[in-house]
Structures are given as structure tokens and as C-alpha cells.
Amino acid sequence: MVWLISFTVWTLIAFSSAFSMYQFDRSLGKAVTFHDELVLPLMNDLIYAFLTPFLFVKVLRFPIWENNWGRRLLAYMAAAFSFATAHVVLRGALYPVWDPRVKGYAYPLWDSSTHAFTIQWILFKRLFLYNTVDDIVSIYLPIVLMGHLICYYQRLRERELRTSQLETELAKAHLEALKTQLQPHFLFNTLHSISALMLTNVGAADKMMTRLSDLLRLSLEDRGVQITSLRHELEFVSGYLEIEKIRFQDRLKVVLEIAPDALDAQVPCLLLQPLVENAVRHGISRSNEPGEIRISATHDGGTLDLRVTDDCPGAGPVDLNHIKVGLGLQTTRGRLEKLYGDAQSLDIRGGANGGFEVCIRIPWSIEEGHWNQEPPAAGD
């Protein structure tokens, strides 16, 4: 790519220079052709085109920075004269030079009188003195400066990419830490529910332990997974609610109102479980009367609306100004903010009969799959 760009740019420069010279000479009334004006600039600039990639690659590999500017500056000064010398040698080898001794053009590497290979140093000396300043100031320095600009831009982009990668890894680590907080929290609370039945109903406690092992297996399968389908999330929540139904029996009623086309929606893993767990702990368990937990999911094509509601008629009136947000809700809110930023919301509202309603809104996205499947049954 560097070679292609170099020869393309220098060829365009040669044609532009030749056209300017052609127009200027024509304005003076000289009988010249465009071909005559093109030969020398094209030959000269093609030599530059050949030397530019070598210089450009060296600049990208050995740029001048604060920690090495002294030695590199000396090296670039020596390279400047090497660049000019290389141009002079190639220029003298490929095209004749004006020789004042014969008042005509002659090749520095060829003696036209003897027709033999001869190095005519006087012609190389004249060519070097004539071209050195122009080669260094007009050609060498712009290439070096352009190479440094590109090198600086590449390093800046690499730094931005590394910073972005570090921020992504940090966000993933934070999300995984938040999710990891939920798992022992869920386990300890479930074990507490099981221990409440160990002395009164061993059979029920054994069933709860069996179901808990199934949930733990699902949790291990989802290790490292942050996003899952709503169908999979409801499967996990249904398993948890089966454990709680063994404990509360007829006191717990579960209603699922899930739009069929919302089952493939993408949601954070372990999103609903802490919300349902809060409804059980702070609603059903504190009431002596039967209670209902309702889980609903709808969408409008751009937003997924999830709601977990409990009526807990024995829990008393709800004062939203004095709700203590526990670990489950805090962690859930933190995960939503990390995953969706300002495009999400989590609101806690008071129910009509003194219960709670947690409303979550997240951007709508789906996984590939069929939409004609029914949601998993949690049982009434």
C-alpha cells in the first residue's frame, strides 16, 4: 500500500509540475511539447517515489519521542544526507546532466567521447550541490513530518483501543462480581427457607433440597453468562417458586402473564429471581393470609416491560419513602445501569392492597427462535 500510494502521489506531482512548466513556456512563446516538459520531472519524481517508502517505513519504526530525541535527531540528520546522495546517484545514472565543459548534456557514469563506463565526479558534485538543499528541505523533511504524524495517530488509536478494552474488561468484571453477589445471596435465603421446615416437615424439606440442587445445576451452567432469554429466566424463577410453594403451600399463588412473543427477549441472567425472592420474603412470609405473586412481561417493539407484583394483604400499608432497598435490588439496579446505562429503569411502587410492584424497563432485543411456545408454568 505504501509503494502504491508513493508512486501514485509522485506521478501526479510530476504531471502537475510538467503542466505548469508547459503553460509557462507557452506563455513566453516557446515552441515546446508537453512530452518535453514531462520527461525530467517524471524521472526525478519517480526516483523520489522509489526512495519514499524506505524512508517512510524507517520513520514509523524509529520515530523521535521525548526519551530518544537526541540520538534519533542525529540519525535523522545523517539520513537526510544519505537520502540526498541516493537521489543524486540515481538521478545521474538515469538521466544526463548539463556539462559546462562540453556545453551540453552528459551522463555522469558514461564518457561519450570514449564510449566507456567512467565516473565523472565533477558532474556528481555539481548535481549534489544543486539538489541537496532542495532534497532535504522540500522532500525529506515533509516525508519525515508526515511519517511522524501518522505514527502519532497510530499510537493514539492504539492507546484509545487499549483504554476501551480495559474499560470493557473492567465492566465485565464488575458485572460478573454483581452477578456473583446474587448467587450466594439466593442460596443462603433458600437454605434458610429449607431449614425452617427441617424440624416440622422433613419430607417437604427433602423436596426443597432436591429442587435446590436442580437450580444450582442451572446456575452453574449459566456461569459467566450475563444475558439470557426470558424463557430461560422464567424456567429458573419457576424452579425457585416451586421450592417456596412447598414451604407455603396454599398461601402462595403464582400467576404468569407473559406475552408469547416476549419469551425470546434478551434479559440479564438472574434478573427476576431477586425480585420474586423479595416478594416472598417481604410479602408472603409476613402475611398469615394467602398471597399472590404476579409476573408479567410485555413489549412495545422497542422496550421490554417486566413487572413483579405481590398483593400481600397482611403486610400492611406501604410507605415508599421508607423502603429499605436490600442487596438483591441494589445489585439488580447496578447490573441494569452497567448493561443499559440510561436506557433502563427500575421503579418500586405500592400495590393497590398494600403490596409492592417492581417495574423494570429495558431495551427490547430478541434471540433467534420461535415465538409460538407457551411460557413455563409455575402453577397456581
Q: What is the pLDDT of residues 23-50, one digit of tens each?
A: 888 888 888 888 878 888 888 888 889 9
Give the structural domain span for 307. 196-363
**128 compared with 5, residue with greater pLDDT:** 5
Same domain, 88 and 205: no
Same domain as 315, residue 227: yes
Q: Is residue 322 part of a domain?
A: yes
3-state secondary structure 97-146: EEECCCCEEECCCEECCCCEECCCHHHHHHHHHHHHHHHHHHHHHHHHHH
**Between β-strands 104-106 and 266-268, what pairing exists: parallel, antiparallel or unpaired?**
unpaired
CA distances from 295 to 66, 212, 282 (A): 62, 21, 16
The more confident residue out of 307 and 96 is 307
pLDDT at 347 over 80: yes
Number of domains in the chain: 2
Greatest Cα pair distance, the chain, in angstroms, is: 122
Beta carbons of 247 and 204 less than 8 angstroms apart: yes
Structural domain contains residue 23:
yes
Pairwise pLDDT comparison (374 vs 347), residue with the higher score: 347
Distance CA 126, CA 108 (A): 10
- Helices in 249-374 by DSSP H: which ranges? 272-282, 327-340
Indicate if 151 and 8 belong to the same structural domain.
Answer: yes
CB 247 within 8 A of CB 208: yes
Asked if 126 and 233 sit in the same domain, the reply is no
What pLDDT sits at residue 360?
92
Q: Given this model, what pLDDT does residue 316 score?
A: 46
What percentage of the chain exceeds 90 in pLDDT? 7
Q: 201 and 155 in one domain?
A: no
Give the three cell numbers for residue 111.
564518457
What pLDDT was estimated at residue 167? 64
Average pLDDT over residues 60-82: 81
pLDDT band at 192 (very low <50, low <70, confident <90, very high): confident
Q: What is the mean pLDDT of the chain?
A: 77
Q: Which of 142, 164, 186 is the last residue of a domain?
A: 164
Does 20 fall in a domain?
A: yes
Does residue 186 fall inside a structural domain?
A: no
pLDDT in tens, 248-296: 788 888 899 999 888 989 998 878 888 888 888 777 777 777 888 889 9
> Residue 171 above 60 pLDDT?
no
Global confidence as pTM: 0.49
Q: Are residues 70 and 122 in the same domain?
A: yes
Kindly state whether residues 246 and 291 are assigned to the same domain. Answer: yes
Considering the domain architecture, whether residues 230 and 87 belong to the same structural domain is answered as no
Looking at the fold, whether 145 and 288 belong to one and the same domain comes out as no
242 within some domain? yes
Question: Do 82 and 230 lie in a common domain?
Answer: no
